[in-house]
Structure 1
Amino acid sequence: MSAFIGLLKKDLSLMKFWYVVWLTFLFLGMIGVYALSVYTSEPSITVPFLVTMAGFHVFLAPLSVLTVLNIEGKTQLWLYNPQGSIKLLLSKISAAALVQLLAQFFISLYALFVMKVLMNEGVIDSFNNFLPWKQGFLMQLGIFGVSMYISIWVIFLWAVYHSLGKYPAIKNFRWLVVILVWVSYNLLEVLLAKTKLIQNMVFSFGVNINIAPKMDYGTNNSWNIIYTDANIPIMTILLYILLSVIFFFLSSWLLDRKVEV
């Protein structure tokens, strides 16, 4: 356990620079947009920035993972680490998850600040009219889940790319293979999703949750978010979790057997 914590601290340290850069731009954007809203006397312009930044956060963890992988690839730290590949990769996912959660915590605080400003200006009546706690939590959970799934794909494609480095004939064209793997998987996924068997097995079981947002600028010159039911396919989510586990272990296998960094 102590060895894993050591790996986690090392990965967090490697991610620190870009994480600080990310937060710096985030805070500067928050201050800039708020200053603009005060200058123009239009507090509602903070809302599009909030939505945009929340969406962009799905890329924070994948970029953090890619940063650490590239650093270790260039410095060959991988070759001199006695820990198994599963621990090495798990520490990176764990570090990225911590970074992601902390960033989403900050964006949640900013959301509270935006809603407080809108309430003070009379644009909204209450927090629940704009973003109820349940919907806010589920949205943050969705952002986190998508971010982690993309992070697993980053690790897998990185492992595929470096595993091809031992073959001189295609070494200079590895990036084409990586693109082909990504495109082929997505084409296969689309084709399978259209089959009746997959639709019956995967998409038939789901739950309706009042989470689908729709922005509405009412006649009373105030922002409202109208929430409607959205079908959450439980089997699809479980399938993506299973795929993430499979890709994680495939990455570990490639790292142990094939990768020379």
Structure 2
Amino acid sequence: MTAVGGAPSGASGLEGARVLVTGGGTGIGRATALRFASLGAHVAVLGRTRETLEESVEAIRRIGVEATLCVADIRDQDAVARAFAGLNETWGGAEILINNAGGQFPKLAIDLSINAWRSVVDLNLTGTFICSQAFAASAIARQIPARIVNIVTAAAIRPSKGLAHTVSARAGVIALTRALALEWAEHRITVNAVAPGMIDTSGLVEAELDGDASIIGRIAAASVPLGRAGTPEEVAAMIAFMASPSCAYMTGETILLDGGYALGPGIHIDRDGKYA
């Protein structure tokens, strides 16, 4: 029996499960794909860039499980439908969906064009809905229990300057998570989200830090209570846990994984009890 079906077939309960990871070619997506593979799951990765997807597939297969790829833009409903149809035909479909694909860039709200706003909302919110809808339709048609885990951001809970477009889109995904969890519970589909804080990925370095990886450590030391950035592997471990039988009774929830970032720096009081 698969992980989602109830009785675990391995120590993690994920052995033999079929998982689709969007944005599975790089960063958190690739780490997540490899995490599931290491737990015995078979993994499909979906994204726009075939080359990076092929690299992920090769790495997954070296672990000893099945792997396949789907080239599609999550904003294109027809392309996503074709990808799911192909996956259903060749693979029998997936029972776990990880909505990881997305993107952002820093821009102060006063300088943000409406096209830039729409592109981020379309990619992060609309793309998540399109993939979730296609996945749920397949799971309902097959009458199987299923899991969806959405990847958002801790900034949707504690905003940062220059990310109004991103936090709005990701906060929309948090609301969407709850709405879909309510609608699809009767079909035994759970929908949850994980909200990572600052995660040390090449995408973050290139898109937001002008290629300077050293900035991550300085920002984390100043803004994260645990004093460091997280790793893609730490996020992947949480995602796999949320998709496992251990979380079968959880739905509609968003779990922060941010080293305490959303708590804020707090008010500092010295040892004499005075405000510092």
- Does TM, normalized by the shorter one, top 0.5? no
Which of the two has greater strand per residue? 2
Which of the two has greater helix per residue? 1
Instruction: Give the structure, 1 or 2, with the largest relative contact order (CA under 8 Å, sep 6 or more).
Output: 1
TM-score (norm 1): 0.34
TM-score (norm 2): 0.33
Question: Larger Rg: 1 or 2?
Answer: 1
